[in-house]
């Protein structure tokens, strides 16, 4: 069986739009903008839960990166810190 690697980047963050400085806020703590949450929901709808079926999923502990896996697999996946 071939190994398939799927990569998805997080949506727009407050740092992307210049509202937070990662050096001041801590890069791990920067959340998504409302548009970023919308992008994550859209990606989740487009990819569907099947995207994660049979997968071993790795997700950064950074706040903004948790939005996409949750949107992709809702309501079956919950992420804890």
- For residues 44 and 12, the model is more confident at 12
In the predicted model, is pLDDT for residue 80 greater than 60? no
* Dist CA 21 CA 30 (whole Å): 9
Q: Quick one: which of 80, 72, 77, 75 has its CA closest to 6?
A: 72
For the segment 36-53, the average pLDDT, to the nearest whole number, is 82
State pTM to two decimals. 0.67
- For residues 42 and 72, the model is more confident at 42
In the predicted model, is pLDDT for residue 43 greater than 80? yes
């Amino acid at each position: 069986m071939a190994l398939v690697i799927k990569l998805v980047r997080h949506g727009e963050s407050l740092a992307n739009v210049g509202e937070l400085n990662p050096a001041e806020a801590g890069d791990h703590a920067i959340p998504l903008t409302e548009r970023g949450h919308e992008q994550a929901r859209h990606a989740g709808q487009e990819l569907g839960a099947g995207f994660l079926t049979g997968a071993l999923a790795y997700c950064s502990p950074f706040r903004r990166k948790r939005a996409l896996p949750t949107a992709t697999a809702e309501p079956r996946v919950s992420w804890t810190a």
